[in-house]
Amino acid sequence: MNMLLHPRSIEWSRRAVPVSGENKIPTRVRVNSISVPVKTDIIDGNCKSDFNSGGSCSSTAFNTNPWWRVDLLDVYRVTAVSITNRGDVVPERLDGAEIHIGNSLENNGINNPSCAVITIPAGNTYTFQSNEMEGRYVVVVIPGRSDWLTLCEVEVFATV
């Protein structure tokens, strides 16, 4: 059975925030910046892509190799990851980002196997197939450059 893994609690810069909902698998989210506000926008089921007008987007601070990670709190066979890019300005910032899936936290999970390289037009949602890669952590990283990592929605699908 293939299912969408939903969050129950979010950890953003070491602060937990409860997210209500039934039949949701608990997850935790972490980014490499402590200067952003605690927000659950990236995994709220809202795919609005206008960052500045009440959309559903969040961003890291300006960093080298900025990353975002979700902890699924158990090992799953991840079948796909859907990502929504911002639709207002600078959507090209996400070009070249990578999705990594695995069980290691070495290098913040970035050393886990790569699932896909991301290129998504402004405001679009793309689903990247991962061929049932096993992992507890799903990481999105912009490798080799200093930038902001902005995501408007991330959905992780897995078999159980």
pLDDT (tens digit per residue) in 36-67: 333 445 555 555 656 666 667 788 889 999 99
Q: Tell me which residue of 67, 70, 61, 68 sits closest to 4, measured CA to CA.
A: 70
Residue 94 zone, left/alpha/beta (φ > 0; ψ -120 to 50; rest): alpha
d(CA 15, CA 31): 11
The CATH code of the domain that includes 33 is 2.60.120.260
d(CA 157, CA 5): 6
Amino acid at residue number 144:
G
Please list the ranges in the chain whose pLDDT falls under 50. 1, 6-26, 33-40
Residue 73, pLDDT score: 86
Total structural domains within the chain: 1
Per-chain mean pLDDT for the chain:
76
Question: Which domain covers residue 53, as residue numbers?
Answer: 2-159
Residue 59, pLDDT score: 82
Residue 99, pLDDT score: 98
Instruction: Give Dmax (Cα) for the chain.
Output: 39
Global pTM reads: 0.77
Bridge-based pairing state of the strands 146-147 and 150-151: unpaired
